[in-house]
Amino acid sequence: MIKCLFATLCLQLWLSCLKERGKSSGISSFILCNCSWEKTVDCYSPGQGLMPASFKVRNVPLESNKFEEVLDPDFGESAIGRVAPVDSGLWWIILLRAYGKITGDYALQERVDVQTGIKLIMNLCLADGFDMFPSLLVTDGSCMIDRRMGIHGHPLEIQALFYTALRCSREMLTVSDGSGSNNLVRAINNRLSALSFHIREYYWVDMKKINEIYRYKTEEYSTDATNKFNIYPEQIPSWLMDWIPEEGGYLIGNLQPAHMDFRFFTLGNLWSIVSSLGTPKQNESILNLIEAKWDDLVGHMPLKICYPALESEDWRIITGSDPKNTPWSYHNGGSWPTLLWQFTLACIKMGRLGLAQKAVALAENRLPLDHWPEYYDTRTGRFTGKQSRLFQTWTIAGFLTSKMLVENPEMASVLFWEEDYELLEICVCALSKSGRKKCSRGAAKSQILV
């Protein structure tokens, strides 16, 4: 029997599956959906391992005027903009691990079809591509922010979920002779090490790092360049210089050659804490920043999906004048209550239960009165979103999970990860003045554990 905490985390997906043919076949459909359903867009079939973003239940006529309910998955061919979901497969792996931890039912993840599902998703995400970075390259609108918001490339949210899914997969994969799992686990370990170094070193900003960027030299050529991504100091936005607190920092939203997206994206930063993608010091600093900028990031309803909002010409050019993503609405600086449980989990991990209780109390006073809306609008989240749907499952589930975690903080330990020091021993390489060389354990620690 699924226990309450896990049920609240994935209730929405389970309900879709259970509508098909009852509990047992629903579980099977949920597991096999990444490889058994046809998915085509304009005569093109994406690779196996892609998970659907959502399901519709449709009736199929049978004999004798009877009907059968079946699931109709959407892999992106019905989505706005025809964007295939990148994060759904990562979430599936994360929730599968959570299910085993909470229920003790490890037989489910050991099933052949489930192991096949994990391998398909991992092989898809770890496939070689024309890209120098260990971060996962994705298109705009491919994650929770599913509309054009200028997050194409290597958005933090996807990297944090990718890192978490890699850790979950390594933990759940059954390694046996001749199964090919050994090579997959080796590839996962190498990617984990490189990804953690990349994010910790290059995505992190605080007052010290921003001042360093402010004094960058540009057009540097060589392996020992300080400004490795050729970032121009003029990219530092004026709002950031006055906004960043003395004590605190965060992981930026995106990094590409000659481009840093300095917006604060809440989900990516929270999952960096939960999964230990950030260092312990960085994780603490992220919560320090949220506390210092409480009015901006929490306001009247936890929590801003990103800060600040795109306005004026930035809104027109980057979002394509999207009327749903007007400033401080929906994905453009709106407040999403479903992020509450992830904030609560991060706070408990870092010993900041009081911060979580403060946020839960805010939501508890408003959500029932507002009929559990999907999101809130305005700079401080005072109004229910103009197109917000009511009685949303993930809003209710996020609040219930937060309440359970606050009342039973010890439960949180099965849902987060501690620092993995073994990853530091397999760091693939680092750039130094002497060129490319393998990292020693000491060098890796000095570079990664800031």
- Of 247, 93, 106, whose CA–CA distance to 170 is shortest? 93
pLDDT at residue 249, as a whole number: 98
Identify the sign of the CA torsion 122, 126, 128, 131.
Answer: positive
- Of 166, 157, 223, whose CA–CA distance to 191 is shortest? 166
Q: How far apart are CA 161 and CA 86, in angstroms?
A: 10
pLDDT-based confidence at 441, cuts 50/70/90? Answer: very low
pLDDT-based confidence at 177, cuts 50/70/90? Answer: low
Per the CB < 8 A criterion, the answer to whether 215 and 233 are in contact is: yes
pLDDT at residue 364, as a whole number: 97
The b/e string for 61-70 (b: 16+ C-beta within 10 A; e otherwise) is: eeeeeeeeee
Tens-place pLDDT, residues 200-215: 999 999 999 999 999 9
Q: Which two tokens stand for residue 240?
A: 């950031």
Task: Say whether pLDDT at 3 is over 50.
Answer: no
Q: How far apart are CA 145 and CA 151, in angstroms?
A: 9
Q: How far apart are CA 319 and CA 297, in angstroms?
A: 21
CB atoms near residue 144 (< 10 Å): 21
pLDDT-based confidence at 32, cuts 50/70/90? Answer: very low
Task: Say whether pLDDT at 228 is over 50.
Answer: yes
> DSSP class of residue 41?
B
pLDDT-based confidence at 47, cuts 50/70/90? Answer: confident
pLDDT-based confidence at 175, cuts 50/70/90? Answer: confident
